[in-house]
Amino acid sequence: METTDSRIPLVHENQYATEGLRFACIRLMEIASAVLVRTASTEAKVALSQDVWGLAQCADTLGQRLPGLRSKKEAARPINAAYVQLCNDLAAIEDPDRQLDRLTRVAYADLRAATAALLVRLDPLVDEAGHQCLTWVLDRLGTLHRPLGDAEEGGPSPLFDSCAGRAGEAEPPVTVTSTPALTEIPVRPGRDPRLREHRPGIDPAGVGELSSSVDITDPLHDVAFKIELCAAEICATLLALHPEAPWGLRHDLARQVRDEGRHFELLITRMRELGGTVGSHPVRFQIWDKFRLGRTLPERILIEQRLGEGIGLDGGLRVYRWLQQIGDTRTATIFDYINADEVTHVGNANHWLEELLGGADEVRELDARVRDLLAGHDMPVRHMIPINVEDRALSGFSAEEIAALQEEWARERAAAEQKAARQPRAPRTSDDAPAPRPTGVHTNTHEYLH
């Protein structure tokens, strides 16, 4: 069993160790995010969505303690060059399955051991706030993804030695640079090879009109993989690819990684309850392809969280009402909660875009440029669904922006009606009568969100 210094650490020693723990939480959050994007295991992605959020919560909690240790809450200082290199080596592992194994078997175990080593040295009366902080962090770290099979691997590490009081005085500033957990956005996130990718131009079987006769398991499968899982991977990509982003933004993205992972779980669980199976329907990557066109952090946030999820606010409300109308209150409730989460996600995007760009006018200018960018790649942003005015307003869209969106929807609707009027209609027999559907609900299940 590793030993620790029985002496209560001085404030500067406690500060040094706490900053080191915060650095470790953030660095492992980045690496966990990269693994989430690259692994083909759907189960691992869902588990890692919990880990990403858990590590972000621990980093934030440690940051809240730092001002009481004569530091700043944003401070995150690596213990020494050796620990930076350990994390760089982990980030450099090319095989995501092996990387996941080392992350859970070694890095997580080391972080828990180091936190426990510092906690045992604190006197709860001398440093009551620190003792409470580390107790909470240690409990939260205990919920992280555990390795399969063999036990975790522990042992002395630079992080443990510092927290255990075995590293001596703080070392000079570290000059070794952390390498990015992701260096580029992959063409495709990892997917189970048993899943088929949808080919453009071929409508997946079983998905058509939103009517009482629809087999809802196919739309649930489609939304789970096309929207929710891709959204989790997009937010994880931003965490891994943009360590320079403000901590508040990264904390919000980590929360969203878990939200989207939870949405995926909800939809797949409901699909199975209704008799559906994973893999019965091709998976699609439209929102991922749009995201990859973003060239900067603000463009990438705008494409996914403001444009994509903004349209999701419109479509989600319509689907919720349709589900209520056909009597599927269980699925309707799921969508109601998902839509409430999306209000927060879009609101966060609008807030951080203003922070990054300097104001609302700059956001609107970038919005227009990004729409042109997407249209130039044959991926136009289309408003085919009535605008959800209430949720749009709650998420930070101005009255002027909402009015412009309503005008755009009216133009899209008029164009669609003109196109439909020009289409020749085949003779209808009594057996061809369509199933009734609620008025005002957009009928294409692939376009109701994003």
Q: Is the pLDDT of residue 208 over 70?
A: no
Maximal CA-CA distance, the chain:
89
Reading the block at residue 405, the tokens are 């969106």
Q: What is the pLDDT of residue 178?
A: 92
CA distances from 107 to 104, 114, 175, 221, 371 (A): 6, 11, 22, 34, 42
pLDDT at 431: 47
Confidence of residue 14 (pLDDT cuts 50, 70, 90): very high
**Between 211 and 233, where is the model more confident?**
233
Question: Can you tell me which residue has the tokens 């690819």?
Answer: 241
CA torsion 31-349-133-32 (nearest 10°) is -10
The tens digit of pLDDT for each residue in 121-166 reads 999 999 999 999 999 999 999 999 887 655 556 556 788 888 888 7
- Residue 211 pLDDT > 70: no
Q: Which residue's structure tokens are 């199975």? A: 272
**In angstroms, rounded to a whole number, what is the distance separating the alpha carbons of residues 54 and 25?**
9
Is 388 a residue whose pLDDT tops 60?
yes
> What single letter denotes the amino acid at residue 356?
L
- What is the distance between the alpha carbons of residues 229 and 266, in angstroms, rounded to a whole number? 11
Q: Which three-class secondary structure state does DSSP give residue 56?
A: helix
Res 432: pLDDT = 45
Band of pLDDT at residue 417, cut at 50, 70 and 90: confident
Residue 437: its pLDDT value, please?
A: 40
Segment 104-124 shows an average pLDDT of 95
Task: List C-alpha distances in Å: 350 to 199, 255, 394.
Answer: 33, 16, 11
Asked whether the beta carbons of 85 and 26 are under 8 A apart, the reply is no
More confident position, 119 or 157 = 119
Question: Quick check: 68 pLDDT over 60?
Answer: yes
Q: Per-residue pLDDT averaged across 385-397, rounded?
A: 96
pLDDT (tens digit, 9 = 90+) per residue, 376-385? 999 999 998 9
| pLDDT classification of 428: cutoffs 50, 70, 90 | low
Share of the chain above pLDDT 90, in %: 77
pLDDT score, position 6: 63
Residues, the chain: 450
Compare 443 and 116 and report the one with higher pLDDT. 116
Phi, psi dihedral angles at 278 (to 5 degrees): -70, 135
The alpha carbon of residue 349 and the mean position of all alpha carbons in its chain are separated, in whole angstroms, by 13
pLDDT at 441 exceeding the cut of 60: no
Distances (CA, A) of 105 to 296, 390, 427: 34, 47, 66
| pLDDT at residue 150 in the model | 57
Look at residues 14, 31, 30 and name the one whose alpha carbon lies nearest to residue 75: 14
Asked whether the predicted pLDDT for residue 325 surpasses 50, the reply is yes
Name all domains of the chain by residue range, CATH numbers in brackets.
Answer: 11-162 (1.20.1260), 217-423 (1.20.1260.10)
Convert the pLDDT of each residue in 45-66 to its tens digit.
999 999 999 999 999 999 999 9
pLDDT band at 247 (very low <50, low <70, confident <90, very high): very high
Token pair recorded at residue 19: 């900053």
Calculate what percentage of the chain has a pLDDT beyond 70: 85
Average pLDDT on 31-41 reads 98
Averaged pLDDT of the chain: 89
Q: What is the pTM of this model?
A: 0.90
pLDDT at 162: 82
- Mean pLDDT of the 369-390 span: 95
Q: Is the pLDDT score of 442 beyond 90?
A: no
Question: Which of the residue ranges 12-26, 229-243, 428-442 would you say has the lowest mean pLDDT?
Answer: 428-442
pLDDT at residue number 47 = 97
